[in-house]
Amino acid sequence: MKHMMIKKFCLLFIAFVSSIGVQAQNSDSIAIHKVLNEQVQAWNKGDIDSFMKGYWNSDSLLFVGSKGPNYGWQSTLENYKKRYPDTATMGKLVFTILETKILSNNHAFILGKWHLTRSVGDVGGYYTLLFHKINGQWYIVVDHTS
């Protein structure tokens, strides 16, 4: 009888701890998706500076695009402003998140699709993002966009 109660307690405890882990993952996924939604809103207002708030403001930020790797938040900002000089070129952005994987308490991986609807011609592709939680906030630390 005592053995059976211990077994039930252990199973309940494992279920409880597992549910806490799932809740943490869900809240992290929600926080990460919020960062991406805020980026879309900023982009669609023509506000590249606010769009960049989703990125880690560091010289170690890595952005990999069609021209290869580029390091640094400032350099990434300058490249965005050079490539998208006005709202016609920026168009309207849509992100479609295909996969979210919480890798640890402080790291997550996102696979998604992006699409710009523009008067100068639509463009789109795929992206992979590595997020890192820094001081309780999720930031993109690696962006590979094609």
Q: d(Cα 86, Cα 65) in Å, to the nearest integer?
A: 20
pLDDT the model gives residue 19? 40
Q: What is the pLDDT of residue 140?
A: 98
Q: Widest CA span of the chain, in angstroms? A: 75
Closest CA to 125 of 74, 82, 71, 64: 64
pLDDT at 18: 41
Q: What is the pLDDT of residue 10?
A: 43
pTM confidence score:
0.83
**What pLDDT does 12 receive?**
43
Work out the angle at residue 27's Cα, subtended by the Cα atoms of residues 102 and 46, and round it to the nearest 5 degrees: 90
Q: Where are the domains of the chain?
A: 2-145
Residue where the block lists tokens 């402003």: 81
Q: Does the domain spanning 2-145 belong to CATH 3.10.450.50?
A: yes
pLDDT tens per residue across all 146 residues of the chain: 555 555 554 444 444 444 444 445 689 999 999 999 999 999 999 999 999 999 999 999 999 999 999 999 999 999 999 999 999 999 999 999 999 999 999 999 999 999 999 999 999 999 999 999 999 999 999 999 99
pLDDT of residue 1: 55
